[in-house]
């Protein structure tokens, strides 16, 4: 029976090789001074036995769990998959695991989720706050992903610049009358996006902002936004501040018999999974989640280490990234200008044609 029986530990490997556990530890970590050949023998044996260090033993000794927490106040957020995947990937690359915490959309439970993670002994926490929630000092190292204009933000997408992408895009297509659709006037993220759009469109164009109540946005349906009336007023483009709202706008316009993008163009944010599956596809601004997650994890680990070395502040507080603002990118799926200067696109799909 030469199949490896369960997991070996350091002591067992040391015994097999007639060396001390300390030497095995040093050889495997590369820290202590161990002769090259002995180190090689140890590494070979360890690999052969499939040795994996015990996280519990290491954590107890070093006081570090090698685990980070991830808190998203609104786990039902459709962006959650993108964020979770990017954070998990960046953390894993640095040798950390990611524990999820759920605050079920409740702002009060956000604090509770953080406490819960601390009780579990995480080394640090990544937080994506909802709305304008300010993160108070928690006693743990924290990285905050929100918006560049939020005080205490560690790193985030440059939502203003993302807005500019939308504005320039619509301006280049010749749109002069634009409705911006948002859901939360208290959100820094949404306000930055509005600012960027307005700024890129310039002062000479007609721009209106339509704020939908968040609960209304979710608990339609049927509550009309009156978008068709806006088209009748001469608006030719709708710039939604999220794809969720863009989708609502698209279906309302189509249901009203209007054609997108021929009668009205539509843009969104987030580039959610279905943005490319629908007809027509929605032009959308996408965050560089891998870059954002990478910056967040890097800054968080720096903070954790500085505290471990004891030269950090008592309350470690919030991590600061070296590049706190990450550019967004535009995914173009509609290229129509306002009528009558229509582009070729409209000819392809006349109303009523099923292709």
Chosen residue from 22, 52, 172, 332 binding a second copy by CB under 8 A: 52
The counts of H helices and E strands in the chain are 13, 12
Q: Is residue 119 close enough to count as binding a second copy by CB under 8 A?
A: yes
Please state, in angstroms and rounded to a whole number, the distance separating the CA atoms of residues 75 and 209. Answer: 27
Stretch that binds a second copy, among 34-42, 148-156, 217-225, 318-326 (CB under 8 A): 217-225
Q: Is residue 260 close enough to count as binding a second copy by CB under 8 A?
A: yes
- What burial class does residue 95 get, using C-beta atoms within 10 Å of its C-beta: 0-12 exposed, 13-18 middle, 19+ buried? exposed
Crossing angle of helices 10-17 and 36-49, in 10° steps, is 120
Q: How far is the CB of 26 from DNA (least distance, A)?
A: 6
Residue 67 vs 155, nearer CB to DNA: 67
Chosen residue from 89, 131, 205, 302 binding a second copy by CB under 8 A: 89
Q: Is residue 257 close enough to count as binding a second copy by CB under 8 A?
A: yes
Q: How far is the CB of 37 from a second copy (least distance, A)?
A: 27
Chosen residue from 11, 29, 40, 60 binding a second copy by CB under 8 A: 60
Q: From 100, 38, 110, 23, select the one nearest 69 (Cα to Cα).
A: 100
Residue 107 vs 229, nearer CB to a second copy: 229
φ/ψ (deg, to 5) at 183: -125, -10
The CB density around residue 204, as the number of other CB atoms within 10 Å, is: 7
Q: Is residue 85 close enough to count as binding a second copy by CB under 8 A?
A: yes
Write the CA distances from 17 to 11, 26, 39, 41, 146, integer angstroms: 10, 14, 11, 8, 52
- Per partner kind, with CB cut-offs from 5 to 8 A, the member of DNA, a second copy, none near residue 217 is a second copy
Chosen residue from 22, 94, 107, 218 binding a second copy by CB under 8 A: 218
CA dihedral 108, 109, 110, 114 (to 10 degrees): 130
Residues that bind DNA (CB under 7 A): 9-11, 18-23, 25-26, 28-29, 31-35, 38-39, 51, 53-54, 56-58, 60-63
Question: 41 is written with which tokens?
Answer: 């023998």
User: Strands (DSSP E) along the chain, which ranges?
Assistant: 67-72, 97-102, 124-127, 142-144, 156-157, 177-182, 206-211, 237-240, 265-269, 283-286, 325-326, 329-331
Q: How far is the CB of 72 from a second copy (least distance, A)?
A: 9
- Per partner kind, with CB cut-offs from 5 to 8 A, the member of DNA, a second copy, none near residue 19 is DNA
Stretch that binds a second copy, among 32-40, 166-174, 319-327, 345-353 (CB under 8 A): 345-353
Chosen residue from 94, 107, 332, 351 binding a second copy by CB under 8 A: 351
3-class DSSP state of 347: helix
Range 278-297, binding a second copy (CB under 8 A): 278-281
């Amino acid at each position: 029976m030469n199949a490896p029986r369960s997991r070996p530990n350091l002591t067992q490997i040391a015994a097999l090789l007639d060396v001390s556990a300390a030497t095995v530890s040093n050889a495997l970590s590369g820290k202590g001074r161990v002769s090259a050949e002995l180190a090689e023998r140890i590494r070979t044996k360890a690999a052969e036995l499939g040795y994996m260090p015990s996280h519990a033993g290491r954590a107890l000794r070093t006081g570090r769990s090698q685990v980070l927490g991830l808190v998203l106040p609104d786990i039902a957020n459709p962006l959650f998959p993108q964020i979770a995947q990017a954070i998990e990937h960046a953390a894993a690359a640095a040798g950390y695991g990611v524990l999820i915490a759920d605050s079920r959309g409740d702002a009060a439970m956000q604090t509770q989720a953080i406490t819960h993670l601390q009780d579990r002994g995480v080394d640090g926490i990544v937080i994506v706050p909802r709305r304008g929630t300010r993160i108070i000092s928690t006693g743990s190292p924290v990285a905050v992903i929100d918006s560049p204009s939020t005080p205490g933000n560690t790193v985030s997408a440059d939502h203003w610049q993302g807005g500019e992408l939308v504005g320039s895009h619509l301006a280049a297509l010749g749109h002069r009358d634009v409705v911006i659709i948002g859901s939360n006037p208290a959100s820094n993220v949404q306000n930055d996006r509005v600012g960027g759009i307005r700024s890129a469109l310039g002062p000479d164009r007609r721009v209106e902002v339509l704020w939908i109540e968040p609960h209304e946005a979710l608990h339609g349906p049927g509550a009309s936004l009156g978008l068709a009336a806006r088209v009748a007023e001469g608006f030719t483009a709708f710039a939604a501040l999220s794809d969720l709202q863009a989708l609502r706008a698209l279906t309302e316009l189509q249901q009203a018999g209007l054609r997108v993008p021929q009668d009205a163009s539509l843009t969104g944010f987030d580039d959610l999974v279905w943005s490319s599956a629908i007809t027509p596809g929605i032009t959308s601004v996408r965050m560089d989640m891998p870059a954002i997650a990478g910056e967040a994890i890097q800054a968080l680990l720096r903070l954790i280490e500085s505290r471990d070395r004891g030269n950090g502040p008592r309350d470690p507080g919030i991590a600061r990234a070296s590049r706190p603002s990450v550019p967004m990118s535009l995914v173009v799926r509609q290229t129509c200008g306002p009528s009558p200067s229509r582009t070729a696109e409209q000819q392809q799909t006349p109303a009523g044609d099923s292709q």
